[in-house]
């Protein structure tokens, strides 16, 4: 589910970058709002090879833990979301108390757009006495997709209590603030995330979007040039200017953010 806010500007970076629902968003060609693919430097061809390899092992032993997890991960990476859900559903039925399997199953359901079901499974994938910051962040991403931004922000704060200054969670929290029109809080949180040495281009581009929404276009373009060509950075900021100047622009922006 690769979508962009503007077809004429395919490089604009409207995405939520989750640690466990890690998106393949906004590298050099497109935005990804689905938080779909597992993070990796591997190419699509390499992921397909992984899918073939683990698929054969899975066929030999359907529901087997390692085969299911690795096969589903490769399927997610190549966009085969429904198949990944089917693989992990069988694994979860076979091992209903395996927290790692449940977490992977919840993320796969979220990829497939089954958000309420995903939240329920993710809730089961960690224990109150052993909370997992990655799962909490994933629950936040799903809540944001459902439009439940206050709940999402609560999940992110809980994740940060366990993993302070984690840039992916800070980025998620900052973007959630933006979705709920708390732009001052969004900017402050995204700046904190972007200052972390482990922050990637997705964090910076989320900050670019928020700066643009605040009318700080010069700073937004300067920051965008860290990851884009001057021409692409200029086009993206010009499009942000156009959105901000339009009547009822927030409805249009939020619609694009939540696809």
Q: Are 144 and 16 in contact (CB under 8 A)?
A: yes
Structure tokens at 120: 């329920």
**∠ CA 244-249-254 to the nearest 5 degrees?**
110
Residue 112 reports pLDDT greater than 50? yes
Nearest CA to 167 among 143, 196, 202?
Answer: 196
With 90 as the cut, is the pLDDT of residue 23 above it?
Answer: no
> Mean pLDDT of all residues in the chain?
82
Q: How many residues does the chain have?
A: 259
Question: What pLDDT does residue 9 have?
Answer: 39
Closest CA to 156 of 114, 121, 186: 186
- The pLDDT value given to residue 32: 30
Q: Which tens digits make up the pLDDT trace of 148-163?
A: 999 999 999 999 999 9
Which DSSP letter does residue 230 get? H
Which region holds residue 32: left if phi is over 0, alpha if psi is between -120 and 50, else beta? beta
Render pLDDT for 24-81 as a digit per residue (tens, 0 to 9): 333 322 223 233 334 456 889 999 999 999 999 999 998 899 999 999 999 999 999 9
Indicate yes or no: pTM above 0.85: no
Quote the DSSP letter at residue 39: P
Confidence of residue 243 (pLDDT cuts 50, 70, 90): confident
Work out the pLDDT band at 245, boundaries 50, 70, 90. confident
Q: Which residues pair with 63 in a beta bridge?
A: none
Residue 17 and residue 200 in contact, taking contact as beta carbons nearer than 8 Å = yes
The pLDDT of residue 246: 75
Over the Cα atoms of the chain, what is R_g? 18
Helix 115-124 vs helix 99-111: crossing angle, to nearest 10: 170
Q: Residue 128: which pLDDT band, with cuts at 50, 70 and 90?
A: confident
Read off the pLDDT band of 13 (50, 70, 90): very low
pLDDT over 90 (residue 103)? yes
């Amino acid at each position: 589910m690769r979508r962009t806010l503007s077809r004429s500007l395919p490089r604009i970076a409207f995405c939520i970058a989750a640690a466990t629902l890690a998106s393949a968003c906004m590298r050099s060609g497109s935005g990804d709002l689905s938080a779909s693919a597992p993070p990796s430097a591997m190419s699509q061809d390499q992921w397909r090879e992984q899918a073939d390899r683990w698929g054969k092992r899975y066929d030999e032993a359907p529901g087997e833990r390692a085969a299911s997890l690795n096969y589903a991960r490769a399927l997610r990476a190549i966009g085969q979301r429904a198949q990944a859900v089917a693989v992990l559903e069988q694994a979860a039925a076979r091992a209903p108390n395996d927290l790692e399997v449940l977490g992977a199953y919840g993320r796969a359901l979220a990829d497939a757009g089954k958000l309420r079901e995903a939240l329920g499974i993710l809730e089961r994938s960690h224990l109150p006495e052993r909370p997992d910051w990655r799962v909490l962040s994933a629950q936040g991403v799903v809540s944001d997709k459902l439009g439940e931004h206050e709940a999402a922000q609560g999940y992110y704060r809980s994740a940060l209590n366990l993993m302070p200054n984690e840039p992916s969670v800070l980025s998620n929290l900052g973007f959630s603030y933006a979705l709920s029109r708390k732009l001052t809080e969004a900017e402050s949180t995204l700046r904190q995330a972007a200052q972390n040495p482990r922050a990637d281009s997705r964090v910076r581009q989320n900050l670019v979007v928020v700066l643009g929404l605040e009318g700080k276009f010069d700073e937004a373009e300067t920051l965008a040039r860290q990851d884009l060509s001057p021409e692409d950075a200029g086009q993206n900021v010009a499009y942000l200017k156009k959105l901000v100047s339009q009547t009822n622009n927030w409805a249009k922006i939020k619609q694009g953010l939540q696809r």
